[in-house]
Amino acid sequence: MSGNVPVVSVVIPCYNHGRYIDEAVESVLAQTFQDFEIIIVNDGSDDPFTVSKLQNYTRPKTHIIHTPNRGVAAARNRGIREAIGEYILPLDADDMIEPNYLEQSFSMISSFPGRCIICCDALLVDGTAGIMQLPDYSRDRLLSENLLFNSSLFRKSDWQEVGGYCSAFEHGWEDWDFWIAMTQSGISVVRIPEALLRYRIRNHSRDRSMTVRRKCQMLLMLIIRHFTCYLKSPGSLVNLLKKKRRTVKSI
């Protein structure tokens, strides 16, 4: 272990999610692997309950950064910049992790022979029950659909190498863009075939509330940012456009 320096930094952006933050933090504090710090980034919350909750929030191993509202990508980047740990686990303020997630993911990433991202399946909570199993991963398939939850473990040095999350994805898909950038740089994806993330499905989540115009904007930005990848894999581009066309029609 690392003594006083935590190995893993759990970064939790929070925008008006004060009602959920205790559950998220407690799920981290209950981990069987205890060599971590928790960084909550208050992303300019403006609802009175969250503002009051985070003003003097005190929990073990936890500190808070207060920033103007710049979106989840910028909030994650700020938290990761301040992180001490060699490894980063992003966690949304309304999600939770199972007690053995850090132990299992750290064991896998530290023993893997190359650079990698560790992901897992998810247990759906809050009105939508069941397990969401991740599809089989391939770099080409990732170009047409997001195959990882944002709460996946990776090295801070790999985040630095790709330039972090792109803050231009202010309406969503910043994690998808980030995974494409990471994997195209040669990083492998290793999946734990267990539901170790408790993923909250809300009617007003960013992806569900995204307008058709915003979806089109995010889609165009994704293609432009990874244009070389799509040129090398034209089938992925075709599949991407087909899937997003169906999504837009269903709205």
DSSP type of residue 168? T
Predicted TM-score (pTM) above 0.95: no
CB atoms within 10 A of CB 130: 11
pLDDT at res. 183: 96
Q: Supply the pLDDT for residue 209.
A: 55
pLDDT value at residue 37: 98
At 80 the pLDDT is 98
**Would you identify the CATH topology of the domain 8-250?**
Spore Coat Polysaccharide Biosynthesis Protein SpsA; Chain A (3.90.550)
- Could you report the per-residue pLDDT of 119-140, keeping only the tens digit for each? 999 999 987 789 999 999 999 9
Measured CA to CA, the distance from residue 226 to residue 146 in angstroms comes to 14
* Helices 212-225, 234-250: inter-axial angle, 10-degree rounding: 170
Segments in the chain below pLDDT 50: 1-2, 248-251
Q: What angle do CA 231, 234, 239 make, to 5 degrees?
A: 135
pLDDT for 1 equals 42
